[in-house]
Amino acid sequence: MWDAEIRIGCQDCIYWTNKYGVQPCQHRIDHEIVKVHYPPFATCYDNELGRFCPCSDFQPNPIRKYLYEHWVDFDTYVQGYKTTWGEHGRMFYDGMTWLHTGNLYDFDTPEYGVPTYDLVFGHPYDPETGWLKATKKRYCVRHRKSDKYPTGSEIITEDINGINIKEEWEKIQNGND
């Protein structure tokens, strides 16, 4: 089973509901209003988080027959993950997973960084209040093209102490950002 581990993601979980579902999974983030940032060279973003590590609440969906029949538990998955990727795989990476609330390719919309380890093993999101325990915020500031800003923009990163992601999403939806 471990040869397929990189294909395991949120969309393979029993808690996941796709665009036809009623309630998006909210075990770690609200999949309806938050999208995970991928590098610009990624082929596409299908809003299914297929390339993202599953969280520790992961339970395989019976629709994913092979996975469902061979799944043992999350701890066994983690051991296989460590065998393949070591302690420096994405799941254990001591860094940020960047989340968007608006259009993934809208460079004027800020994105929020949540420690990857917290996203996989913790509970960085409170679905009732909409509070996301983000520790970083980054956004683009436009400038005139110059020697200092050859692309005409600058990326600013700030330390923050969380954000109400539902309020931010509503601002973007209403065009009041």
How many domains does the chain divide into?
1
Burial of 29 (0-12, 13-18, 19+ CB in 10 A): buried
What does the pLDDT average to over 133-139? Answer: 91
Q: What is the pLDDT of residues 144-162, one digit of tens each?
A: 898 988 888 888 999 999 9
Q: How far apart are CA 50 and CA 120, in angstroms?
A: 14
Say whether pLDDT at 45 is over 60.
Answer: no
Question: 77 is written with which tokens?
Answer: 């998955």
Q: What is the pLDDT of residue 171?
A: 79
- Cβ contact 107:98 at 8 Å: no
Q: What is the pLDDT of residue 64?
A: 85
Domain boundaries, position 137 = 2-174
Strand partners, 35: 100
Q: What is the pLDDT of residue 38?
A: 56
Whole-model pTM: value is: 0.72
172 membership: H or E segment, kind and range? helix 165-174
Query: Following DSSP, what letter does each residue of 77-132 receive, concatenated?
Result: HHHHHHHHHGGGSTTT-SSEEEEESS-TT-TTS-EEEEEHHHHHHS--EETTTTEE
3-state secondary structure of 151: coil
Q: How far apart are CA 84 and CA 90, in angstroms?
A: 12
Q: What is the pLDDT of residue 131?
A: 92
Q: What is the pLDDT of residues 19-41, one digit of tens each?
A: 555 566 777 777 777 777 654 43
Q: What is the pLDDT of residues 81-110, one digit of tens each?
A: 777 777 766 666 667 888 887 666 666 778
The residues, ordered by sequence, that sit 6+ positions from 166 with a Cβ below 8 Å of its Cβ are: 30, 33, 129, 130
